[in-house]
Structure 1
Amino acid sequence: MRFYLSLLTVFVLVTSCYPTSISFKDNSMDPELKTFTVINFEQSAPNAPVNYPISFTEFLKDGILGNTKLKLDQSGTSSAHLIFSGVVTDYSISPVSIQGDSQAALTRLTISMRIEVENTLKPEKSFTVNPRRFADFDSNQDLNSVESQLLEDINQQILQDILNKLQSDW
């Protein structure tokens, strides 16, 4: 009898801890939202590469398509449920880790943006995100040789900020 009781206890513990469904996609996004559009980002940061706002716009479109159930509405902003727009406000490079000989061991690329998300179905759910993200690289490296990888890392962080805000009502 003791064996069966122990077996039953183990079974209950194991099955009660077993998740039936885990998902990090569209966990609390309004099911009425079906489409989105992204207006080309603007640039007010003087040091940013000329093509960065356009490449970020395309990255954001791909990121939303790949991480949500939303469909890209290319017919214009009048029919999209969500309208994304924004501006690159800062693009700066600064030393981070100063060594004993007053030389920087690491350099930091920092990007700041202001991103507005307009919800045309429920305007009260519209929001603005002001991400400020960075990536560090060895000071012995030339920025031009690592910039594309740094931008990819920073873009991924900014996309995550947008998705977190979009999929939560916090």
Structure 2
Amino acid sequence: MRRFLLLLSFMVVVTLTFNGCGVKYGFSGGSIPANMKTVNVQYFENIAPMVYPTLSQNFTEGLKERIRNQSRLSQVNGDADAMFEGVITGYDIAPVAVGANDRAGMNRLTITVKVKYTNRLDETGESNFEQSFSQFREFMPPIQGKEEGTIPEIIKLLTEDIYNKAFANW
């Protein structure tokens, strides 16, 4: 009987540890409140001085895909438990190393996004944020043809940073 009570006590402690506090923990590194069910990702307009034509669409879809793949949240139009909105504020290609004949030996593509996250279930507003995120990748010249391969890598890094800030509080 003593063994049974000890085992039962252990099971209760384990259950409370993993189910407590009303927060769902997952293997993707996120902690999404159990009562959060929906998310709305608004279109991120590109207002950067240098514009890449499909960046707004690709970034917006990349953030939606990140949330879809790493959470249980349903994406909706209109009011939602969690809201993402913002703008692309920077798209810049700059040389970072000099090569032969004083030409760029290495270029850096940097994308900056300003994001406003609102958790409408958080009455204190402590989990809400408005912040800029920036990521870059370097590539060898020429620039032509390199942007198409570099942009998805940067979008992946940016969406990971945004997701972690919103749902993992990193």
TM-score grouping bracket, smaller chain normalisation: 0.7 to 0.9
Partner of 1:5: none
Q: TM-score, normalised by structure 1?
A: 0.76
After TM superposition, the structure 1 = structure 2 runs for residues 106-145 of structure 1, keeping only pairs within 5 Å, are: 106-123=106-123, 124=125, 125-139=127-141, 141-143=142-144, 145=145
Say whether 1:63 aligns with 2:74: no
Q: Give percent identity, aligned residues only.
A: 30
Partner of 1:9: none
Matches within 5 A, 1:7-156: 24-25=27-28, 27-74=30-77, 76=78, 78=79, 80-99=80-99, 101-123=101-123, 124=125, 125-139=127-141, 141-143=142-144, 145-156=145-156
Runs of 4+ in structure 1 off by over 6 angstroms are none
TM-score (norm 2): 0.76
**Root mean square deviation of aligned Cα:** 2.0
User: Structure 1: any 5+ residue segments left out of the alignment?
Assistant: 1-21
The residue identity in structure 1 corresponding to 2:53 is V
Whole-Å separation in 1 of the counterparts to 2:143 and 2:98: 17
- Alignment length, in residue pairs? 144
Structure label with greater radius of gyration: 1
The answer to which structure has the higher strand fraction is: 2
- Runs of 5+ unmatched residues, structure 2: 1-24
Between 88-97 and 22-31, the greater mean CA deviation after superposition? 22-31
- Quote how far apart the aligned CAs of 1:90 are: 0.8
Tell me the secondary structure at the aligned position of residue 155 of structure 1: helix
Deviation at 1:23, TM superposition (A): 5.1
